[in-house]
Amino acid sequence: MTLAAFQKRFGGEEACRAHLEALRWPHGPVCPACGLVRRAGRLRRNPAFLQCRDCDHQFSVTSGTALHGTKVPLSKWFTPIYLIASSSKGIAALRLADLIGVSTKTAWFMGHRIRAMMAGRDRLLTGIVEADEAYLGGRKKPEEPHDPAASKRGHGRGRATMFVAVERGGEARAGLIASHTKEAIGGALRASVDPGARLISDGLPAYREPGRGFAGHDTVDHGRRRFAEGDAHVNTAEAFFGLFRRAVNGVWHHISRKHANRYLHEMEWRWNRRKVVAAERVDAILSAFALPLGWSALTERAA
């Protein structure tokens, strides 16, 4: 579906609301307070809201979701959802603001609420799974001019560590980890990869002990310029990081450690649906009724 066709179909509030209701309530409206189905009627003064005939609770199709309490019309939500879902590397808040006619602050907030709807996972990775880690941001400058440890290549001092596990020909799981230690990498692997999978990683010693928990574990020694041993390589995992870095450099330009997981999950979601047409991607986002995400949760400083 082209953007023009999408906007023609969902150009009005009633069409957007009806589509959302069909996705969320395929068997009729469900009261979030008492759980009764098809026992709600529309308010005359505001047809977007319904009222339960049993408990009198008033609610809408966006109640309790990532779009909860939004003052932006649904028709203005559907366009950025289409643009984010159909793009290969995402879309910047500044560009989004120009396209839909809202402030940059509003567009940034909308983007993160859409990312919250893209963050779900439903299974562990199986088959042949490649794992790799990388650092977020450029090379760390030495704290002291004569401190060799601070400038040691690959040490990653002061930078966030990203981790990805990717099925050959399948899905990916990506996110930040505390460090490149065996504890952090082991926890990420156990949360992402089925024990029956065959794990492939580079020669980082932190993979040795966690790797014993899988059906097989092969490594490639990048330090000795060996990038493939038969079918053992981590090229797919490195391709994921390459795509993510191009999105950061070309689209978002800068992302903070605080929100890095959100952007990694967006890229993960896009990777996992790379063979799905745009209309199905849009419905996948709209069907993921994530929990509400407030402005304060996005902007408050970490303790």
Instruction: Give 164's Cβ-side CA count (13 Å radius).
Output: 28
Structure tokens at 239: 């391709």
pLDDT for residue 122:
85
CB 176 within 8 A of CB 263: no
CB 299 within 8 A of CB 76: no
Name residues whose C-beta falls within 8 Å of residue 269's C-beta, 6 or more positions apart in sequence.
Answer: 118, 119
Crossing angle of the two packed helices 235-247 and 260-272, in degrees rounded to 10: 120
Where exactly are the structural domains of the chain? 3-119+279-291, 128-272
Percent of the chain with pLDDT over 70: 90
Average pLDDT over residues 80-99: 94
Closest by CA to 171, choosing from 210, 126, 201, is 126
Find out if CATH 3.40.50.10190 is the number for domain 128-272: no
Q: Residues of 222-255 as b/e, b for ≥16 C-beta within 10 angstroms?
A: eeeeeeeeeebbbebbbbbbebbeebbeebbeeb
- Binning pLDDT at 50, 70 and 90, where does residue 139 land? low
E strand map for 127-228: 128-136, 160-167, 172-177, 198-202, 216-220
CB 174 within 8 A of CB 264: yes
pLDDT digits (tens, 9 = 90+) for 58-89: 999 999 999 999 999 999 999 999 999 999 89
pLDDT for residue 144:
45
CB 220 within 8 A of CB 233: yes
pLDDT for residue 221:
82
